[in-house]
Each structure stands twice: as C-alpha cells, then as structure tokens.
Amino acid sequence: MNCRVEKSEISGKIACPSNKSYTHRAIFLASLAIDKSIIKNILRSGDTNATINACKNFGVEIKDVGDDITVTSASVLKLHSNTIDAANSGTTIRIATAISALANDKIVLTGDSSLKKRPMQPLLDALESLGAKCSSSNGNPPISVSGTIKGGEVKIPGNISSQFISALMITAPKLENGLILNIQGKLVSKPYIDATITMMKKFGVEVETKTPYKKYIIPKQNYKSTTFVIPSDFSSLALLLSAAVLLGENLTIQISTGSMPQADEAIIDILEIMGVVITLDKNVIKIKSPEKLDGGKFDLSNSPDLIPAIAILALKTSKPIEIFNVEHARYKETDRIAVIARELAKLGIKVKEKKDGLVLNNSDNLTGADLNSENDHRLFMAFCIAGMYVGNCTISDPESVKISYPNFISEMKRIGCKIFLD
Ligand SMILES: O=C(O)C1=C[C@@H](OP(=O)(O)O)[C@@H](O)[C@H](O)C1
Ligand SMILES: C=C(OP(=O)(O)O)C(=O)O
C-alpha cells in the first residue's frame, strides 16, 4: 500500500505518544517481579504488543485496565509455548532472549522479515559463555536458547546495540550468582543503558556502576512490583517537532516528560543549534523556526533514532547537515543510512552517504517523488513529513506506523496534513 501527500500546513494541538522503550522495560521488569504491578499510560503499538505477548508466554498475567495494564507474575517462569514471535521489535527479542536463558527448556525466538536481519550474535555469545546453549541463523533470528544460566562474569561488545547490554542487565538479578558485566570497546546508544538502570531501580533493584558504560555489577536480588507511569516519547516528539519546523509552527505539542533519561531529548539541543526557538511551558511545547535553518554537525551515536527526523530538515537548511558516528543506524528495521540517502536524493537533496552517517545539502531543485520507506515506521513518518513540505509525493508502507505511532496518520490529518491512503 502507498499513501499520497500534498503540500500541507499544520496547526492546532497534538499529544505526543507514550514512550516505547520505557513501555518495554516496565512490562519486562514487572514480569520479573513477584505480585501485581500497575503500568499507566502505556504505548499500545505493534512493538509493545510483541513484548506483552512474550511475557504472557513466560506465564505472566497481563490485563488491560483502560489506558493502563496490570502485570501479575509468579516467582518462576511457566512457559506456555517454546516459540516467541517478537514481530518487528528488536528490543523485545533481545530482552526476551536473555530472559529465556533463565528457563531450562529450549526456546525459539523469531520475528518478521525485518527482524530476521537484526544482529543477535554478541548476545548469544555472552549467554553461551554463561552456560546457555544457543543457535541462530547466521547470527540472526530465528535463534534458540536453553539455560539455565546461573550468572558469573561476562564480556560483550558495545558497538552494535545497547539492547544486548540492557537484556543482560534486566536478567541479571534473577541469576543465582548475579552478573559482572564488562562492555568491550565503545558503547552506542548509552542513554538507553541509563534508562534500563533507572527502571531497574524503580522496580527495587540496584546496579553497581564500577565504570560507566564499561563495567557493572548486579548481585542476585528480587524485583519488587510497583506502579509506574510511562512518560512521553522523545523519539516520536522529534518527528512532531520536525513537522512543526517544516509544515507550520502554529502547532502545540502536549508532552509529559517525567524525569527519566531519554536518548532522543538531544533533539532539543540539535534544533536550537539549527536556529529553532523551543519553549516548554506546563508540559506544552511550542517552536519558532527561522525561514532557513542553520545546518550543523551532529554526533548521533547516543540517539540513532533521531536520524530520520533530523535528515529531512535538510529541506529547509541554508548550510549542510552532517550526521556522524551512527553506523549502528544501519542495523535497525532497515539500513536507515542507506535508505535515507537513496530516498532524500529523489527529492533533490544532495546527499553524501558515509559508513557512519550522512552529509545533506539543500538544493533549489526540490521535487515530488515516489518514496520507498521499506516498511520502516520511522522512515515512513519522516518521509511523509518531507513529502508534505515538497508536495506531490507518495510514500510506501503506511501500515508501518503501527510499530510506534499507530494513530500517526489520523492525528496528522486532524492538524491539517493532506495525506491520502491509496
Ligand atoms: O533499548 C532501547 O529501548 C532501544 C535502544 C536503541 O537501539 P540500539 O541500542 O540498538 O542502538 C534504539 O535504537 C531503539 O529504538 C530502542
Ligand atoms: C529500532 C527501533 O526499535 P527496535 O530496536 O526495538 O526495533 C526503533 O523504534 O526505531
């Protein structure tokens, strides 16, 4: 399926969706705690449903209560099935793989065609070094894991995905001998480790940071059930802010930030560097954008999910945008560096693709085009916004938004976007 977009001007109010990463963490941690937890204001999306289904498979009771859910767990995993389908969710399959090593049955974890290309081997190597038996399809899903691991000391590279580290951390307190976690080389997406540690603390577990982003000690502990309110998602907010910059600054965005670390808060500083004035007053964000944006050089190592929302701003810059140090954006739902380079060039942007990023220059010859989002939700939404700035575009795979922002199209239409589903 495709969608067609025309030049649009937006205005009015929109609420930022709830945070996907925190929703994943809250559900998994509540599933490892004994008794009932309440998780309020969760993001309901394809990815978070994958996590709910994975936890239900571990024998956890999860019930809907309006916008909230209750999660009631027992002390021991009771497998309902030996296969977990994580659909399109990298976070789900990484965390569920580590948790599966707590069981002594063989568990197969798989996903959709995109997930079957996502790297898993560093996590499997770490689990095998702890005594698990693992298999994979050339390092990708479907994978299998059988425990039971008891913990000890483990090392894992940090240059591919922080999710491998988050997965081991979340599982560690359940291990008889706890875990000493050594991260080799540079660690990408660092703030997601901070998010994991923050959330583990919310569920009663302490992580000892011996050397930040290098070495952590997690003794055996019990997670404690709690009530947790999910904050807004800065990854989705970034797209809304780019829409306001490109399509109309009379947009006010309602957010509930909370006080927890989010990698993609970096969007605020990046937009301000490019000349955008952002105000936050009583949980409402407003922006003022110059006629032409300054460019800038942006290290996205810690916030790879910002690459689509920032790249499309090249449509309104007077100077180049250089994005670097984010090779791991190639291992997401798609190779986001390659797809963004290929598709934004169709609009007339002058793009130089590099191994670890992009250099984007505006041009005077912007033109409509048929854009292929490769069924990547963040690319679909970014290309939609770009297409409504340039006009006369089609974008493939609108159904991909179910992954992180299911009502994106209806919400954008409500604030004035000319989006038409073919
Ligand atoms: O831990 C998480 O919730 C996530 C970590 C990041 O992945 P990497 O650590 O693989 O960069 C990010 O891209 C993803 O959307 C969510
Ligand atoms: C890459 C993403 O998530 P995941 O790694 O969980 O698939 C994303 O939401 O952009």
**What is the tally of structural domains in the chain?**
2
216 with 333, same domain: the answer is no
The answer on 354 and 213 residing in a single domain is no
Mean pLDDT of 71-77: 83
Number of helices and strands in the chain (H, E): 12, 24
Domain endpoint, select from 229, 259, 289: 229
Band of pLDDT at residue 76, cut at 50, 70 and 90: confident
Assess whether 251 and 353 both reside in one domain.
Answer: yes
Same-domain check for residues 194 and 46: yes
- Pocket test residue of 189, 197, 302, 403 for ligand 1, highest count of atoms within 8 A of CB: 189
Are residues 324 and 405 located together in one domain of the fold? yes
Residue 78 has pLDDT above 90, yes or no: no
| Whether pLDDT at 85 is above 80 | yes
Distance 163 CA to ligand 1 centre (A): 6
| Contact between residue 404 and residue 398 where contact means Cβ atoms under 8 Å apart | no
pLDDT over 80 (residue 74): no
Q: Is 90 in the pocket of ligand 2 (CB under 6 A)?
A: yes
Ligand 1 binding pocket includes 161 (Cβ within 6 Å)? yes
Q: Is 216 near ligand 1, meaning CB less than 6 Å away?
A: no
DSSP letter for each residue of 283-299: TEEEEE--SSB--EEEE
Residues spanned by the domain of 165: 20-229
The pair of structure tokens assigned to 49 is 């449903």
**Confidence (pLDDT) at 77:** 78
CATH number of residue 264's parent domain = 3.65.10.10
**Given 264, 305, 376, 397, which residue is catalytic?**
305
Q: Are 259 and 305 within one domain?
A: yes
Amino acid in the structure at residue 15: A
pLDDT digits (tens, 9 = 90+) for 211-249: 999 999 999 999 999 999 999 999 999 999 999 999 999
Give the ipTM of the model, two decimals please.
0.99
Same domain, 262 and 338: yes
Residue nearest to atom 2 of ligand 2 (CA): 332
Which mutation among 332, 339, 380, 408 tests ligand 2's pocket best, with the greatest number of atoms within 8 A of CB?
332
Tell me: do 150 and 260 sit in the same domain.
Answer: no
Ligand with minimal distance to 194 CA: 1
Q: Which residues are CB-contacts of 55 (< 8 A; sequence separation ≥ 6)? A: 27, 28, 31, 62, 71
Return the ∠ at Cα 344 (arms to 343 and 349), rounded to 5°: 145
Enter the pTM of the model.
0.98
Judge if the beta carbon of residue 89 lies within 6 A of ligand 2: yes
Q: Would you say residue 361 has pLDDT above 90? A: yes
The number of the ligand nearest the C-alpha atom of 262 reads: 1
221: number of Cβ within 10 Å: 17
Q: Which of 212, 229, 246 is a domain's end point?
A: 229
Same domain, 284 and 319: yes
Shared domain check, 161 and 301: no
| Residue 193 and residue 266 in one domain | no
Asked if 212 and 360 sit in the same domain, the reply is no
CB atoms within 10 A of CB 416: 16
Instruction: Give the residue from 166, 197, 229 where a domain finishes.
Output: 229
